[in-house]
Amino acid sequence: GAGVSQSPRYKVAKRGQDVALRCDPISGHVSLFWYQQALGQGPEFLTYFQNEAQLDKSGLPSDRFFAERPEGSVSTLKIQRTQQEDSAVYLCASSLTTGRHQPQHFGDGTRLSIL
């Protein structure tokens, strides 16, 4: 497809389980971002990659959150020992080049529910 693809679309896990969320950015896009969107809120920044380099991970809530983009394309966001407060929609976005004015193209997100 032409857009950003995220999988799975929905994920239900029990508290304490580990989960992995996948993002396929638009082909050739250099920058990749992860955001967390709680119900009724705007997205909040988690982390950012330029190709395979993770340049900013200041938004990751704890060391239970880990993201990687080993070959500069697909990215995975992993959450270990999930907790109920991790329930949210996780959005991935990509942009063609670097630069603060570049439009970010968002996927439809993964809705994570922790029971």
Partner 1 sequence: TQLLEQSPQFLSIQEGENLTVYCNSSSVFSSLQWYRQEPGEGPVLLVTVVTGGEVKKLKRLTFQFGDARKDSSLHITAAQPGDTGLYLCAGARIGGSEKLVFGKGTKLTVNP
What is the token pair recorded at 103? 């439009």
* Burial grade of 87 (CB within 10 A; 0-12, 13-18, 19 or more): middle
Residues from 37 through 56 that contact partner 1 (CB under 8 A) = 40-45, 48, 55-56
- Transcribe 7-34 into DSSP letters: E-SEEEE-TT--EEEEEEPPTT--EEEE
Residues from 53 through 92 that contact partner 1 (CB under 8 A) = 55-56, 59, 91
CB nearer partner 1, residue 4 or residue 77: 4
The answer to whether residue 28 forms part of the interface with partner 1 (CB under 8 A) is no
Applying CB under 8 A, among 26, 29, 107, 112 the residue interacting with partner 1 is 107
